[in-house]
Structure formats: structure tokens, C-alpha cells
Amino acid sequence: MQAFLCFRCSKIWFFSHLFVPLQRFISKNTIKVRDYNDMLRIAVQSKGRLFEDTINLLTEADIKISASRRTLLVQSSNFPLEVLYLRDDDIPQSVASGVADIGVVGENEFVERHEDAEVISRLGFSKCRLSLAIPKSIDYPGLEWFNGKKIATSYPYILRRFLEEKGINADIHVITGSVEISPGIGLADGIFDIVSSGSTLVSNNLSEVEVVMQSEALLIANKNLSEDKRQILADMLFRFEAVKQAEDKKYVRMNAPKAKLKEIIEVLPGLKSPTIIPLADEEWCSVHTVLDQKRFWEIIGKLKELGAQGILVTPIEKMIL
């Protein structure tokens, strides 16, 4: 289990070889604090779910940002990063033009704006989809239903490309704001819009009939970043990866009978190999490992059957492989 683990309860870094003297460990493994000559600017949506998810990620990565959005540009107090708050549809152009160095933006907005920026990472949050929807009262026969129909959307580029690929000739009506009300007021026959839970469609008596694309948050970057800024970006991504690796993971410690140790180890799907520590009672040992939340209760049950006792479970804040 070659990994560094950080626990929420103690903020102490643990290493798999627990018998290595702490002083030697720190001298060999501590990352030297860098002297940065530049500041990286990240464009972030000024409100909404994507804003909240992005700030949560920065917080988990120990990058401190002021919670106030009254200021357009906010500097981190402990990392060479400044946050530029923008509308989501302005972020791709701001990054491509160099107003911001990097940005967090929904894949739907990035594809719609088709700006010349580099996709650095798929962040795995703020997931949604872009779909076609029509009134529930209509018996939908298939995509050909949209031939000659009027479709309201805020994403004309993505919709037009999709319809052309499928050979559908429809009238695209571009609007901003509440697209979902368009069929109800006679403005359009159907809509093409973002769908998350689908509750907005239901409340407007609409039925989702075609999923055109899946979307999630992307980290994008200007293609002409300086070497200093690319180094800052690399250090930030290192932190993001540590947070991501710890998602849905639990650090588990237990006392196990040595007579059952081989069977217990076979049950554990740890990173590489669990840590085994002898106890005062020579017939027992302590076993430390990392478990995935998805299989947690299944594995804990098997460990109990094999005689494991005193099982202690700790959330993992960060994990560096």
C-alpha cells in the first residue's frame, strides 16, 4: 500500500511503512516549497452548482479562497492562484484569449463556444446532459418527428451539428433563459436544453426523448501558458488528484488473529498490500488497509466472520499514490 494518506480527524500524514523513523521520512519525502515568480488566474462560474463544486474542490486541495463574490478577482492566501468570477458562457473565450490562464467550465458550454483552448482534465462533477424534449401529450415516433418542427435552445451550435449528422431539417429558435416554457406558450414545438434530474421537464409537462451529449466540468487552459504557470498548474493538479483518489475510500484498522491472517489478506482488496503490525499478544496482529466504499460492508462482513475485532474506520481526505 505505497501511499500517503491524510485523515480528516487528525490532519496527520501516514506512510505504509509505519516503522520508518519520522525524521528520516520527512527529510526524504517532504516536497520543497516552490518559489513562484508568477500567479495563475483561474476563471470560475460566479454562481450556481458549478461554482459550489469548484470552490469545494479548491478547499479540499487546501487552496484558500475568499468566499465573497463581490470582488471580481480574488487571490488565494496560500497558493499562487487568483480566481476570476465570470458568467459560465464567458469562460471559454476568456481562457482562449488569455484573460484567464485556466478555467472550470461545463463541457456543454465549452463545446458550444468552440474556442481554441486546451482541455486539461475532466473533473467528474457537475454532470448533466443535453437532450431534446417535447410535450408529454405527444406520442413520439422517433427523431424524424423533428423534421419541419421549431426547436428552442440556448445551444444552437451543438443542436445544429447533431441535426445535420442525423439528416433532420428543423427550425432552430435561439433564446436565453427559461427554454423549457417555450412549448407551453407556443414559441416552439420542442426544446433542446440541459437536463440534470429531469424535474424541470416534469414541471413543464415535457418528456425527454433524445440524449444528444453528456456533460461534466472540464478544466481548460490557454495554449500559451508560460513555464512558470504550467508548473503552478501541475502542482494544483497534483493536489486535485490526491483529493480524487481519496473519494469513496476508507482507511480501516483492525485486530486480527494470526491464525487467520492469510485468509484475511486474501479478502482485502488494498492498494498493494496491507500493513501488518505485531501486537503485545503474539497470537494477534494489527492490519491496516484502504477499502472502497462500494464494497465496504461486504468486506467488513467477511472480516468479522474470519475473527477480525476492534475494526476502526476513518475517512480519508487525500491519498497520494
Based on its alpha-carbon atoms, the radius of gyration of the chain, rounded to whole angstroms, reads: 26
Rounded-to-integer distance, Cα 204 and Cα 195, Å: 13
Runs of H (alpha helix) within the chain: 22-29, 49-60, 91-97, 107-113, 156-166, 199-203, 227-245, 261-267, 296-305
Rounded-to-integer distance, Cα 71 and Cα 69, Å: 5
- Name the nearest CA neighbour of 122 among 101, 106, 111: 106
In terms of Cβ atoms closer than 10 Å to its own Cβ (0-12, 13-18, 19+), residue 261 is middle
What is the model's pLDDT at position 52? Answer: 93
Locate 182 and state its grid cell: 417555450
Residue pair 208/129 in contact by the 8 Å Cβ criterion: no
94-98 CB contacts, 8 Å cutoff, 24+ apart:
94/43, 95/43, 95/220, 95/221, 95/222, 96/222, 97/222, 98/222, 98/224
Rounded-to-integer distance, Cα 157 and Cα 153, Å: 10
Alpha-carbon 63 to chain mean position: 16
Residue pair 192/156 in contact by the 8 Å Cβ criterion: no
- The β-bridge partners of 295 are none
What is the model's pLDDT at position 223? Answer: 97
What are the pLDDT tens digits along the chain (321 aa)? Answer: 445 555 544 333 333 333 333 344 334 444 344 555 689 999 999 999 999 999 999 999 999 988 666 688 999 999 999 999 999 999 999 999 999 999 999 999 999 999 999 999 999 999 999 999 999 999 999 999 999 999 999 999 999 999 999 999 999 999 988 899 999 999 999 999 999 989 999 999 999 999 999 999 999 999 999 999 999 999 999 999 999 888 888 899 999 999 999 999 988 875 678 899 999 999 999 999 998 888 888 899 999 999 999 999 998 887 787
Rounded-to-integer distance, Cα 112 and Cα 160, Å: 10
What is the model's pLDDT at position 35? Answer: 53
Q: What are phi and psi of 85, to 5 degrees?
A: -85, 125
- The predicted model scores a pTM of 0.78
Locate 54 and state its grid cell: 469548484
Rounded-to-integer distance, Cα 129 and Cα 155, Å: 12
- Name the nearest CA neighbour of 79 among 92, 98, 66, 96: 66
Instruction: Give the list of residues 6+ apart from residue 269 with CB closer than 8 angstroms, or none.
Output: 291, 292, 295, 299
What is the model's pLDDT at position 33? Answer: 42
What is the model's pLDDT at position 71? Answer: 80
Rounded-to-integer distance, Cα 218 and Cα 196, Å: 17
